[in-house]
Structure 1
Amino acid sequence: MNWFVTILGSIFICLPFVLSKTMDSEIKMIVDFLQSFNKPSNVIANLCWGNSNIKDLITNLANLESPKSIKFVNDMHTKDIFSNHKIIFLVDIACAGATQFLDKAKAGKYFGRPYRWLVINRRDTKTVIPRELEAMDILTDSEVYVSQFDNHSCNINLIYKKPQNHGWIIEKYGTWTENNGFLLSREVTELVTAIRRRNLYGVTVVASMIITDNNTLADMQYLRHKETDWLTKCNYHQLASLYDFANATRKLIFTNSWGYLINGSWTGILGDISQGKADLPGSVLVITKERMEQLDYLAFLSPIDVKFIFREPPLSYQNNLYLLPFKTSVWFCIGPFVGLLIFAMYVNAYWDEKKCQCDNEEENQTTMLIPKVSDVSVFVMSAISQQGSNVELKGTLGRFVILIIFLVFLFLYTAYSASIVVLLQASSNQIRTLSDLLNSKLELGVEDTKYNRYFISTTKDPVKKAIYETKIAPKGSKPKFYNLVDGILELQKKPFAFNCVLGTGYRVIEKYFYEHEKCGLQEIQYIQIQNPYQAVKRGSPYREIFKIGLLRNAEHGLNDRTNRIMLSKKPVCLVRGGSFVSVSLVDCYPIFLLLMYGMILGQVLLLAELIHHRRMKKVEIE
């Protein structure tokens, strides 16, 4: 009996030292584990330790090179999560409140990225995964470390569930010993978490895609009609390599719009994602504040450059061709020069009349220029227009003046006519801004797409609003929305500006335009659309895997290859001036206008002459 009492007493005496030694090992393991990340961290601890052990833990953390703050909590509160990217949860699974703490973490979705967890497992268990974690959502993006003590060493394992409840996967993070500290696993140190877990074991990932044409689904793989639903087809091929990278199974659902917030609910792709029908968009999306609440944006895949495309219109659409051959200074010089010629002709005509009266040469008076301002002016005008006259100056000096007049105006007429011929074939480069487009004679049209109808009709800019109300959708007429091919064909036929995606518009232009028609193409941006990005459902466990996969696709040139197949660059002009352009009514408008004014003026002068003639007859009779 005495020996039993002695042994029992020894156990009670040594037990505090054993427990103390055990707690010291756990504290050192925790400190070395936190130090292995080599970065500042904020630790939120749910422990049921004694005050002395907690004090030791705080002291050891304070002595680290990379500072670690620690906060002890009994319950999970959002206010404790003060810095998402630096949080490490520390939980002792043996504590009474651990299960409740873990349940609240599951409800708050704190097991996913970017939070880390260190779960201290029971010493008396051989199972790597504690039963308290069986029902937790520890998925592909989680970083949950479970410690497993074995005598004087401790194994740290990363655990997560295979997608869609396929089971648990255990990754060895490292082994800790009191003497050597942490020995990290080679796989963990060389590969980031998303790369290690990129194999999704064939899990089904649903993508919501846009289809506006019933033939798109059949043409998705073969790309016979690239201009129809081009963005959907482009993203279909770009995401194919992403599914291969992640070893996932693709499932597609279809809608008819990208998704807009209408009356508090989402439509289109965003509607499918917000309702849980889809995991990621099958088409790239423009970043908006409202969409960021539903999506995490990952990578830029395909450019969407939406602009007005138009061919440089004939110069006559912007200017009066018949004023352009000479500079303003030349026109100002021609006016006084004509006045000087009229004066010189008048002096010569007056001198010839005096001379004929002295010589009594009555036979020459019928063909002699009468010294009147009207007659002399008409003679000079006939010389300017290269027309003859039935009167002339009889003297040598007068004939010399006539020669000079016709010679000077011959050169002016030749220069003017040659310039007009060139200007009739010239195009205008004066349309450079939206204001120029608004004030031009070009007709405007817009590609009939959901985003065009939305952005163009909701603009607040006064110039853009005026373009929409006066040229695109004037009151009382049908809005000018065209499908892509019809809009480009209108651009080919007449002075017309068409708003579309440049890459697809240029592809149709290459298909239908002659080489000389590809010259003079200009662009003006109307909708300020940002570059669209591929996104994934916010909080998706596949976020990092997809992000890395998309970036790898870009590095390997897969995205660029698809973009080159689907989109075209601006055509190169090779044969400018190689075609004949007929003169249109617009080119002749100033001449017709001058003719009309001349005819009206002629009728007014005729009426005035008739009135004057009748008055003179009355005077003679009286």
Structure 2
Amino acid sequence: MLLKCLLVLKLITICLSYENEFIVDYYKHKEISRIVGFFCGNTTRMFKLINKFNNLEISAAMPLLTMDFNVEKLKTSYWKIGIILDLRCQNKNFAGFMSETAGHYTYTNLYNWLILGESLDSVLPRLNDSTYSVVTDLVIATPILDGYVLHDVYNPSKYHGGSLNVTELGDWHRSSGLNITLTHSKFNRRANYHGMILRVLTVTQFKPNNTRLEDYLEDYSNKSIDLMSKFVYPLMQHLCDIFNFTMDLSTDFYWDEIAENGSHTGMMGMLNRGFADITGSPGAINQKRFPLGELVMPIWNFRTCFFFLSSPLRSTNELLQPFSTGSWYATGALTILIALILSISLAFEKIDHWIRQYGIALFSTICILCQQGSSVIPNFLTGRLVFLQLLFFSLLIFNYYSACIVSVRLNQPLDKINDSLNELAESNMDIAAERIVYYDYLLETSTDWEVQMLKEKRWSKMSDAKKYLPLEEGLKRITRGGFAYHCDPNRGYPLMEKLFTSEMICRLSEVHLYHPQGLGAWVGHHSPFREIARVGLAKINDMGLRKRQAIRWSARKPICVNVQQTVNSVTFTEIKAAIFLLLLGVMLSLIICLLENIIYNWNTKKRYERDN
């Protein structure tokens, strides 16, 4: 026995002579830039080790491990830190230190532990693996004759029945240096959880009592009900298959509900109190959720809209719209020019008065342009050539004008509003919404200016009886026009395909309340499954499985198919210019008629007086 102790003592003494070289080689391999070491008090050795690290531009500190040592000093949020712990010292503070480091969660992927010990059997009982996980980077180095043997240590989750896993990582020899034999990535070699239970909590608000939860989440016939939970369930199945978990599935009615005493209930509250490991329904990503859990990654693209039918754009100058301003000016100038040429050609027709000559030319030009013909037919070739040219000009102008009018009537643009809640609030449309929990939640908590405008201008002024409508009734009211209804597109689109005509689908417009945003999977704070869930869901996303499930469970937007073009009735607004022109002509005719009668009577009277 004494001989064995002497051999161990001699082995330790030999190893101490080149231990600094081993430690430096190890952290050079790990590419760590900050080191904290706890040794047995050999000041000279510690200074030499610090000097070696500084020569490699690695900052190092070697404090004494006392009872009042503050573990908070080891905390890091961005940079990796290496921690060296020599358990060969007879330091009674080790147990408390190991417990405190576990309580401060210093076994995440930001910490790289190197523990020096006489043997595995002397080190393993002294470890506190309560907060170990698959990302724990802890290596135990034990001496051999001319170097060290390294063992990789982790526990997937002690509180879930996991046990300490010890695997030989490699060795270090003074002659050959560091030799790592365990070259697979950390997640690949630790991916098997050996059937460990993963508690998944989902939200179902419409599940029948006599239906198994698993069967309900696989029910595709009613996919629009509890759709997000049904989407996440196959992703959780894939995650369990990848890492060999056993899923323990449970459900709640709410995502997040605040009780009278201020505590959180529902899915997020249960997650926060440790009754679940991961959410089986995607949750909103906002500041109010972060105190309740940690985000894994966004997995579902979520949005909600107000739906309504846009009306065709009504133009008040449809009669002038076919031609541009320049075209109208050119047409008017050519009309006057042709009228002048025609009046000159009529000089050969021996018309008794020049006023009558110019009047005939002007009115004939206007009549021909309006496709009304002319009561005067020139006898000479000059006049007939002018008439022929005028007929061709009027034919082209009339065809262009009428074709443009018909084209506009067949392809009337829709009078759409921007994707703006404020514009919706200022419109004259009635509004209502499907009774869904996140609608009231957003109106009450959102600081977005447009949401507040909608609430102040419209929603707060409505009675409770008019605010909410069942989904089918709300969509039917959309078909009558002048009404905007808020719902989840994944619930609304399937019914729209049944209730709306093709023409209504083409007129369908949307104004977002929730603009497209990601909803995420959540785990509890300091969960041992956070990183493995992130890796697994990222792998599921990269393989296209998430996209496949999103396509499978999302509702297709109704497709606008213009099977036939229809012309809407002409409204009074659109023809008021023509009516105004007609009334103006009638009034002008009456005035001229009145003036002619006055002049005629005056001339008649003058002639009578002269004759008598």
TM > 0.5: yes
Structure 1 CA distance for aligned equivalents of residues 570 and 349 of structure 2? 47
Query: For 2:80, which of 85, 94, 118 is the aligned residue?
Result: 85
Taking the TM superposition and a 5 Å limit, the aligned residue runs for 1:580-619 are: 580-586=565-571, 589-592=573-576, 594-595=578-579, 598-599=582-583, 602=586
Partner of 2:220: 223
Structure 2 CA distance for aligned equivalents of residues 378 and 480 of structure 1? 63
Verify: 1:236 aligned to 2:233, yes or no: yes
Indicate if the aligned counterparts of 2:432 and 2:474 stay in contact, CA closer than 8 A.
yes
Query: For 2:533, which of 525, 541, 546 is the aligned residue?
Result: 546
Indicate if the aligned counterparts of 1:61 and 1:69 stay in contact, CA closer than 8 A.
yes
Verify: 1:396 aligned to 2:383, yes or no: no
Q: 1:460 to 1:85 in 2, by over 3 A?
A: same
Q: 1:476 to 1:442 in 2, by over 3 A?
A: closer
Indicate if the aligned counterparts of 1:208 and 1:253 stay in contact, CA closer than 8 A.
yes
Partner of 2:12: 22
Indicate if the aligned counterparts of 2:317 and 2:574 stay in contact, CA closer than 8 A.
yes
Indicate if the aligned counterparts of 2:201 and 2:278 stay in contact, CA closer than 8 A.
yes
Structure 1 CA distance for aligned equivalents of residues 449 and 459 of structure 2? 16
Structure 2 CA distance for aligned equivalents of residues 371 and 269 of structure 1? 93
Q: 1:108 to 1:520 in 2, by over 3 A?
A: same
Q: Deviation at 1:95?
A: 0.9
| Residue identity matched to 1:584 | S
Q: Deviation at 1:192?
A: 0.8
| Residue identity matched to 1:589 | T
Q: Deviation at 1:590?
A: 1.3
Indicate if the aligned counterparts of 1:158 and 1:170 stay in contact, CA closer than 8 A.
yes
Indicate if the aligned counterparts of 1:41 and 1:88 stay in contact, CA closer than 8 A.
no
Partner of 1:5: none
Verify: 1:555 aligned to 2:542, yes or no: yes
Q: Deviation at 1:194?
A: 6.5
Verify: 1:325 aligned to 2:319, yes or no: no
Partner of 1:251: 249
Partner of 1:279: 277
Partner of 1:109: 105
Structure 2 CA distance for aligned equivalents of residues 101 and 195 of structure 1? 29
Structure 2 CA distance for aligned equivalents of residues 475 and 459 of structure 1? 19
| Aligned partner of residue 155 in structure 2, secondary structure | strand
| Aligned partner of residue 301 in structure 1, secondary structure | strand
Indicate if the aligned counterparts of 1:113 and 1:142 stay in contact, CA closer than 8 A.
yes
Q: 1:445 to 1:249 in 2, by over 3 A?
A: same
Partner of 1:164: 159
Taking the TM superposition and a 5 Å limit, the aligned residue runs for 1:54-453 are: 54-55=46-47, 57-58=49-50, 67=58, 69-73=60-64, 74=66, 75-81=69-75, 84-92=79-87, 94-121=90-117, 126=121, 129-130=124-125, 132-133=126-127, 136-147=130-141, 156=151, 158-160=153-155, 162-164=157-159, 166=161, 168-174=163-169, 176=171, 186=181, 188-193=182-187, 195-199=189-193, 201-209=195-203, 211=204, 213=206, 219-246=216-243, 247-257=245-255, 269-285=267-283, 287-288=285-286, 291-292=289-290, 294-304=292-302, 314=312, 316-317=313-314, 320-339=317-336, 355=352, 384-387=369-372, 392-393=375-376, 396=379, 400=384, 408-428=393-413, 434=419, 438=423, 448=434
| Residue identity matched to 1:590 | E
Indicate if the aligned counterparts of 2:277 and 2:524 stay in contact, CA closer than 8 A.
yes
Structure 1 CA distance for aligned equivalents of residues 327 and 353 of structure 2? 38
Q: State the Cα deviation string for residues 151-200 of structure 1 (Å, max 9, x = none).
A: 886563514264435253232234657667788674x4324157415416
| Aligned partner of residue 220 in structure 2, secondary structure | coil
Structure 1 CA distance for aligned equivalents of residues 34 and 259 of structure 2? 38
Structure 2 CA distance for aligned equivalents of residues 456 and 317 of structure 1? 34
| Aligned partner of residue 545 in structure 1, secondary structure | helix
Indicate if the aligned counterparts of 2:25 and 2:178 stay in contact, CA closer than 8 A.
no
Structure 1 CA distance for aligned equivalents of residues 391 and 422 of structure 2? 44
Q: 1:411 to 1:117 in 2, by over 3 A?
A: closer
Q: 1:454 to 1:213 in 2, by over 3 A?
A: same
| Residue identity matched to 1:110 | T
| Aligned partner of residue 62 in structure 2, secondary structure | strand
Q: 1:307 to 1:592 in 2, by over 3 A?
A: same
Partner of 1:534: 521
Q: State the Cα deviation string for residues 213-243 of structure 1 (Å, max 9, x = none).
A: 5579775212223334433322222222112
| Aligned partner of residue 189 in structure 1, secondary structure | coil
Q: Deviation at 1:467?
A: 7.6
Instruction: Structure 2 unaligned segments of length 5 or more: list them.
Output: 606-612
| Aligned partner of residue 102 in structure 1, secondary structure | helix
Verify: 1:46 aligned to 2:38, yes or no: yes
| Residue identity matched to 1:581 | T
Structure 2 CA distance for aligned equivalents of residues 483 and 239 of structure 1? 32
Aligned length: 586
Structure 2 CA distance for aligned equivalents of residues 613 and 477 of structure 1? 66
Q: 1:532 to 1:353 in 2, by over 3 A?
A: farther
Partner of 2:609: none
Indicate if the aligned counterparts of 1:144 and 1:160 stay in contact, CA closer than 8 A.
no
| Aligned partner of residue 164 in structure 2, secondary structure | strand
Indicate if the aligned counterparts of 1:88 and 1:115 stay in contact, CA closer than 8 A.
yes
Q: Which deviates the most, 487-496 or 241-250? A: 487-496
Q: 1:496 to 1:23 in 2, by over 3 A?
A: farther
Q: Deviation at 1:115?
A: 2.1
Indicate if the aligned counterparts of 1:204 and 1:248 stay in contact, CA closer than 8 A.
yes
Structure 2 CA distance for aligned equivalents of residues 474 and 608 of structure 1? 60
Q: Which deviates the most, 433-442 or 47-56? A: 433-442
Q: Deviation at 1:348?
A: 8.9
Indicate if the aligned counterparts of 1:119 and 1:146 stay in contact, CA closer than 8 A.
yes
Q: 1:416 to 1:466 in 2, by over 3 A?
A: farther
Indicate if the aligned counterparts of 1:61 and 1:68 stay in contact, CA closer than 8 A.
yes
Q: State the Cα deviation string for residues 102-142 of structure 1 (Å, max 9, x = none).
A: 2322332323443233444566x946632x43584334443
Q: 1:307 to 1:591 in 2, by over 3 A?
A: same
Q: Deviation at 1:493?
A: 7.0
- Structure-1-length-normalised TM-score: 0.71
Q: Deviation at 1:546?
A: 0.9
Q: Deviation at 1:297?
A: 3.8
- Structure-2-length-normalised TM-score: 0.72
Partner of 1:32: 22
| Aligned partner of residue 251 in structure 2, secondary structure | strand
Indicate if the aligned counterparts of 1:484 and 1:500 stay in contact, CA closer than 8 A.
yes
Q: Deviation at 1:580?
A: 3.7
Q: 1:319 to 1:615 in 2, by over 3 A?
A: closer
Q: 1:135 to 1:570 in 2, by over 3 A?
A: closer
Q: 1:71 to 1:182 in 2, by over 3 A?
A: same
| Aligned partner of residue 252 in structure 2, secondary structure | strand
Q: Which deviates the most, 193-202 or 496-505? A: 496-505
Q: 1:510 to 1:80 in 2, by over 3 A?
A: same
Q: State the Cα deviation string for residues 11-34 of structure 1 (Å, max 9, x = none).
A: 9xxx99985762552574575356
Q: Deviation at 1:542?
A: 0.8
| Aligned partner of residue 95 in structure 2, secondary structure | helix
| Aligned partner of residue 323 in structure 1, secondary structure | coil
Instruction: Structure 1 unaligned segments of length 5 or more: list them.
Output: 1-7, 358-368
Q: Which deviates the most, 437-446 or 21-30? A: 437-446
Indicate if the aligned counterparts of 2:81 and 2:111 stay in contact, CA closer than 8 A.
yes
Q: 1:465 to 1:53 in 2, by over 3 A?
A: closer
Q: State the Cα deviation string for residues 424-444 of structure 1 (Å, max 9, x = none).
A: 111428969558995999969
